[in-house]
Amino acid sequence: MTKRSAEIVAANEDLLTEILLRLPTKSLLRFKCVSIQWLHLISSPYFARNHSLQNPNPSTSGLFLYQYPSLLYLTLAVEPNVTSRPSFGPVPILDFLRITPFASNLTILSSCNGLLLCLLVSPPSWNDADVIYFVSNPTTKKSSPLPPLQMLAERPIITMDLAFDPRESPHYKVICFRQYNPPDGLEFEIQIFSSETGSWKICQGPFVNIRAGILFRGRGVYWNKRIHYLDSTGGGSFYFKVEEESLGFLRMPFIQSEVQAMERSWYLGQSGGHLHLVDIETNITRDSSIDIYELQNDYSGWFLRYRVNLGSIGSEFPEMVRYIGVHEFLDVEGNQRSGIGRYYIYSVLNVVREGDDLFEIVLSIPNKIVCYNPGNRTSKVLVYFGDDRDRVRYEWHNVFLYTQTFCPFEFMGLSVLFGGLKFQCNENCIN
């Protein structure tokens, strides 16, 4: 482009906007520094919403990994031609919060389309227990506290999750399930915070159709205007329709394996505009498998996307393989046999999907975090912890997928006290 052409583009804001809308968020963050004009243009709510519409399924930026008392961040190199190993370490993208004295008391509860729902708890040395819930956008370095919830002791919080889609609205909601014990039995109460109103409200209920004794497994996952949950006790799932404020139930897929598993667990997450369910099977009579399902957009059911034989991954990473003594078992034909059992030490952290070109499953195994592409059956090491770590470090409910967004972030002018310090809506969260 000649100097004259560049001047013409710079002088035509509509043309400049059309060009910038096609750039990734990472580039736009740098281009904010070009000029005052570019800063105002890129920071405007109009640009933020149109950039979300132009890029409905942005690339995954990284994963937050939490294990008390440390919060770490793993960048994911998902671009086609990137071969360098991702960075891994403390969380510099949250430095703007300026809560260094309380960093070990920070917990991420939910991540949704670039926003984080966080919990900050006062240190044990303080006489009074202070708790703050706040929503943060690390891309724009903006945060906002939520109004305090009342009667926490009488109605404890079970789960709290974000619902946010920048393509639909600049506003977000926080869905909070709380438990209480009326005289006629255990029930749940659902409260919703809206950034548009700046207040909590109680959903009309109570929701007695959630059966007593349900246990939420992991956290909720927002997809298709619903927050989806797994039930630990019944092996089922249900969802909360955010706009309609109603519940729905979803059948789990049929077990595909011919062999009864010694242990079975699940992973639930969304990536690339799709909701994925991973059936994690463990048995000792033959190689275990990982079945990756995808939910149909019309909720008609799950379909099997990939079946991953752990034997192929275990041959490349033998540290995840464990053996037990001689035992007897029935083979697939019903014949009595004996042999040495084998199982695998691992956990599924995330499924990362970028359009039709990339599909990877991120695994935590002893000493490492690795990713595996079930399409071409290739793997790579993302993080190496060292030889002294012989255990799986992270589980999926402690891992949060993060994407960058230019959400304009509507502030309500709220401020709350935290140990005598004012926590308010601005770039420096604690003053």
Write the burial class of residue 104 (CB in 10 Å: 0-12 exposed, 13-18 middle, 19+ buried). middle
- Mean pLDDT score, 210-236: 75
Highest mean pLDDT among 155-164, 226-235, 380-389: 155-164
* Count of C-beta atoms within a 10 Å radius of residue 388: 6
| Residue 61 is assigned to a structural domain of this protein | no
105 with 233, same domain?
yes
| Rounded Cα–Cα distance for residues 347 and 395 (Å) | 6
- Tell whether 191 is covered by a domain: yes
Q: Which of 173-177, 254-258, 402-406 shows the lowest mean pLDDT across its residues?
A: 254-258
Is residue 28 domain-shared with residue 154, that is, in the same domain? no
**Could you tell me if 277 and 253 are in contact, meaning their C-beta atoms sit under 8 angstroms apart?**
yes
Burial of 385 (0-12, 13-18, 19+ CB in 10 A): middle
Mean pLDDT of 261-284: 79
pLDDT of residue 338 exceeding 60: no
**Residues 95 and 227 reside in one and the same domain:** yes
Can you tell me the distance from the alpha carbon of 111 to that of 30, in angstroms, rounded to the nearest whole number?
A: 24
Q: What is the mean pLDDT of residues 244-248?
A: 88
Same structural domain, 96 and 179: yes
Q: Are residues 22 and 97 in the same domain?
A: no
The label of the residue with tokens 């002088």 reads 11
CB contact at 8 A, 99 and 123: no
Per-residue confidence (pLDDT) for residue 164, from 0 to 100: 94
Mean pLDDT of 69-95: 66
If asked whether residues 107 and 230 sit together in one domain, one would say yes
Give the sheet arrangement for strand 274-282, strand by strand: 263-271, 274-282, 289-295, 302-309
Residue 36, domain extent: 1-43
Rounded CA gap, 401 and 316, in Å? 26
Instruction: Give the number of other CB atoms < 10 A from CB of residue 208.
Output: 13
Tokens 């000649």 belong to residue? 2
Average pLDDT score over residue span 365-380 = 90
Mean pLDDT over residues 60-68, rounded? 81
Mean pLDDT, to the nearest integer, of 322-341?
61
Q: How confident is the model at residue 431 (pLDDT cuts 50, 70, 90)?
A: very low
- For position 115, what pLDDT does the model report? 92
The gap from C-alpha 275 to its chain's centroid, in whole angstroms, comes to 12
Helix 13-20 vs helix 36-43: crossing angle, to nearest 10:
60
Q: How many Å apart are CA 53 and CA 55, to the nearest integer?
A: 5
| Burial class of residue 38 in the structure, from the number of CB atoms within 10 Å of its CB (0-12 exposed, 13-18 middle, 19+ buried) | middle
70 within a domain of the structure (yes/no): no
Q: What span, in angstroms and rounded, lies between the C-alpha atoms of 97 and 429?
A: 5
How far, in Å, CA of 84 to CA of 343, rounded? 32
Query: Within this chain, do residues 153 and 7 fall inside the same structural domain, yes or no?
Result: no
Token representation of residue 309:
């034989």
Residue 54 lies in a domain: no
Pairing of strands 157-163, 274-282: unpaired
Closest to 152 (Cα-Cα) out of 133, 174, 125, 124: 133
257, pLDDT greater than 80: no
User: How many Cβ atoms sit within 10 Å of the Cβ of residue 286?
Assistant: 17
Same-domain pairing of 112 and 224: yes
pLDDT digits (tens, 9 = 90+) for 269-278: 998 889 999 9
255 assigned to some structural domain: no
3-state secondary structure of 142: strand
Residue 425 lies in a domain: yes
User: Taking the CB of residue 229, how many other CB atoms lie within 10 A of it?
Assistant: 25
Mean predicted confidence (pLDDT) in 351-379: 88
Q: Are both 111 and 223 inside the same structural domain?
A: yes
Predicted TM-score (pTM) above 0.95: no
pLDDT of 15-50, one tens digit each? 787 888 888 777 787 787 787 887 778 777 777 777
Residue-by-residue DSSP string for 81-129? T--SPPPEEE-GGGGGG--GGGGGGEEEEEEETTEEEEEEE--TTSSS-
Do 130 and 33 lie in a common domain?
no
CA distances from 335 to 3, 330, 331, 338, 341 (A): 80, 5, 5, 10, 16
Residue keyed to tokens 């006489």 = 127
Q: Are residues 122 and 33 in the same domain?
A: no
- 214, part of any domain: yes
pLDDT, tens digit (0-9, with 9 covering 90-100), for 393-427? 677 678 888 888 776 555 444 555 545 555 555 44
Distance CA 91, CA 383 (A): 15
296 within some domain: no
Question: Rounded CA gap, 110 and 159, in Å?
Answer: 10
- Domain limit, last residue, from 43, 59, 75: 43
Q: Are residues 97 and 36 in the same domain?
A: no
Q: Answer for the pair 172, 112: CB distance below 8 angstroms, yes or no.
A: yes
Q: What is the pLDDT of residues 91-131, one digit of tens each?
A: 665 666 665 555 567 888 999 998 999 888 766 655 555 77
Q: Is the peptide bond before 138 cis (omega within 30 degrees of 0)?
A: no
Look at 227 and 280; give whichever has higher pLDDT: 227
pLDDT the model gives residue 6? 57
Q: Average of pLDDT values for 184-195?
A: 80
Contact between residue 354 and residue 377 where contact means Cβ atoms under 8 Å apart: no
Cα 57 from Cα 114, distance rounded (Å): 11
Q: How confident is the model at residue 428 (pLDDT cuts 50, 70, 90)?
A: very low
Helix (H) or strand (E) holding 16: helix 13-20
Mean pLDDT of the region 375-403: 78
The total of structural domains in the chain comes to 2
Residue of higher predicted confidence among 201 and 60: 201
pLDDT of residue 253: 82
